[in-house]
Structure 1
Amino acid sequence: MSSTQVTTGILGGGVISGDSHPDDLRRRVGERSEQLHRSRLVQRLLAAWTFPGNLVLLVLGVGCFTWLRTPPVWLLVLAVLLPLASSAASSRVLYNQHFRVRSLGMELRELRRAQREHQLDDLGGDDLLAAHKRYRAELPDTIERYRCESRGHRHKHNVLQGMTIAGAIVTSVVVAVSVSVVEARWLAVGASLVVAISAAFGGYAKYRERSLNLQQTADALEREYHSVELRVGRYRRFEDERAAYAEFAHEVESLREEHTRRLQQTGHVAGPEFAV
């Protein structure tokens, strides 16, 4: 089966033409990677606007009714309309950005899969060495999935930590204000509830530990990926390519098994895409 046929079969949707050159694929992978990185940054900024930003606007709006005895009509209208308009607009923009990031991610995966198929097609062969080389060629996809999952858990951990810290500060301020403004006590109750829920959920989910576990495994797999090709580290003692790649396959499986064991120790089970 030729590289052209492989590429066409993988991408039946027409994202990549059947006669794409490996150099062209490499260039497009770089371009899409940069676009995806920028889109994710925009998505994080939009998420910060949608959730903490609108929450701040809502608190300020409630404060207009609570702290000001006789606020002007225009301020009351602004306090009501601004949070509503901001929430609707930011949610809509974030929704569109989510699908843009998803589309770029899918296209990038297709490009990388096509690039991998070119490499696998060049390897060919049915013996054990060829199987080990194909196994190595497919490893970058696994490493990327580990790192993507790690970034997601790290982001969730940072959000929960930010909510806990910001909520604690807001609670302290509102409690101090409630000494003279009785109506502000309900805000203190709400802020305390947010802090308690964020701290409890963060402690149960253990996002930080899961992110660290995934990142460590991805780094270790990448190190093995490069070491076997360069014959460094544990592979320096192998003069025979077949023995080196056999050791590589064994080490990669050991790392993935250790990763699953650490997940189970934290009370979580690896998803199907990370199963050994």
Structure 2
Amino acid sequence: MARRKPGSNPQISTLIDDDEWKRVIADDQNPEWHYDYVQGRIADVEERLHYRLLWQRIGRLWLFAGNLILLVLAILANFTPIAAAANISKSGMRLAPYLYTIFFGSTILASVLTYRQYKRTRELQFALKRLALIRRRKLAEKAETAANVDGDPALSHQKRYRDDAPDIISQYREEANRNRRIHNRLQVVIIGGSVTASTVTTASVSYSVTRWYAVGVTAAVGLAAGFAGYFKFHERSSSAQQTADSIEREYEAVELRVGRYRGLNEKDAYSSFAECVEKLRDEQNKRQQQLDQPSDIKREE
């Protein structure tokens, strides 16, 4: 990959390059990698990642929803009276073959473009992880410097734990968002499939071939409902989001010295913060274990 030229604007690709990464790790005292500079690079990557994710969602919408509409139109062109009149020439050529051709071409094109967007998104996510590691090293250096001044190693570790809190919050929120997306997709299948199944079943009175579509849609609805009930994605999302919000409140409270941290000195405040966050994480693990247990076991308990 191309290296950054002197005086040019920093590019995200330089952090993906292994040689550049080794140079940063070996010489992280370089003023170029000041903590504020790293924070600026992280903000730049997050902004680019936001637009990449947006285009990735658009590509997935095209790949699944758009091509599904084309497939439905092609199928209807074979079995509806409207399609019988849709001859584009006197030779009797029908519209369905063209719709199938467009469907297959659109599926291939959407798959290729979506995969490219996925690779670019992963590159930015990888760069963001490396920047987070550099930021963590800078915070550790600041904590060690403060420990050398204060002469209290435990306090330096507690400060470092406080500095790692945003990463912990981000992990729980990513987990919550992932489970929420799965839950919402399953609900779309259940609700949309239920309506579609009733419609197709009604249409099967006049067109017997649609009975198989009704069977397929009904099976999809049943599977989606079963997955949603067994894996409890909604409950998992709510639990992870609740933990993330609680840790964020504690993080802001210890910074502002409000709530339980009011009037405490620095050592007692950070010690209480670490204890509270560990308690919240332990409660989250216990809720996760309860969700992993089958329903019959929980009833016996």
TM-score by length of 2: 0.79
> 1:64-213 to 2 correspondence within 5 Å?
64-68=77-81, 70=84, 72=87, 73-124=93-144, 125=147, 127-213=153-239
Could you give the per-residue CA deviations for residues 196-237 of structure 1, whole angstroms, max 9, x where no partner exists? 111111221211111111111111111111211211111114
Match of 2:69 in 1: 56
Partner of 1:179, secondary structure, is coil
In structure 1, what is the Cα distance between the partners aligned to 2:205 and 2:266?
Answer: 76
Partner of 2:292, secondary structure, is coil
How far is the alpha carbon of 1:182 from its aligned partner? 1.7
In structure 2, what is the Cα distance between the partners aligned to 1:46 and 1:24?
Answer: 33
Over 3 Å off, 4+ runs = 15-18, 68-72
- Count how many residue pairs are aligned between Structure 1 and Structure 2: 257
Match of 2:42 in 1: 29
How far is the alpha carbon of 1:22 from its aligned partner? 2.2
What is the percentage of aligned positions where both structures have the same residue? 38
Structure 1: which amino acid aligns with 2:222?
Answer: A
Match of 1:273 in 2: none
How far is the alpha carbon of 1:259 from its aligned partner? 0.3
Query: Mean alpha-carbon deviation: is it higher for 153-162 or for 69-78?
Result: 69-78
Structure 1: which amino acid aligns with 2:269?
Answer: A
How far is the alpha carbon of 1:101 from its aligned partner? 1.3
For the 8 Å contact 2:39–2:135, the answer to whether it is kept is: yes
In structure 2, what is the Cα distance between the partners aligned to 1:252 and 1:220?
Answer: 8
Partner of 1:180, secondary structure, is coil
Higher relative contact order (CA 8 A, sep 6+): 1
For the 8 Å contact 2:49–2:124, the answer to whether it is kept is: yes
Match of 2:280 in 1: 255
Higher gyration radius (CA):
2
Match of 1:4 in 2: none
For the 8 Å contact 2:253–2:259, the answer to whether it is kept is: yes
Structure 1 residues 103 and 94: CA distance shift in structure 2, 3 A: same
Structure 1 runs not aligned, ≥5 long: 1-10, 269-276
Partner of 1:14, secondary structure, is helix
Root mean square deviation of aligned Cα: 2.0
Query: Mean alpha-carbon deviation: is it higher for 100-109 or for 47-56?
Result: 47-56
Query: Mean alpha-carbon deviation: is it higher for 73-82 or for 116-125?
Result: 73-82
How far is the alpha carbon of 1:109 from its aligned partner? 1.8
TM-score by length of 1: 0.86
Please, which of 239, 244, 250 is the counterpart of residue 269 of structure 2?
244
How far is the alpha carbon of 1:108 from its aligned partner? 1.2
Structure 2: which amino acid aligns with 1:136?
Answer: R
How far is the alpha carbon of 1:121 from its aligned partner? 0.3
In structure 1, what is the Cα distance between the partners aligned to 2:61 and 2:189?
Answer: 11
In structure 2, what is the Cα distance between the partners aligned to 1:221 and 1:121?
Answer: 24
Structure 2 runs not aligned, ≥5 long: 1-16, 88-92, 294-301
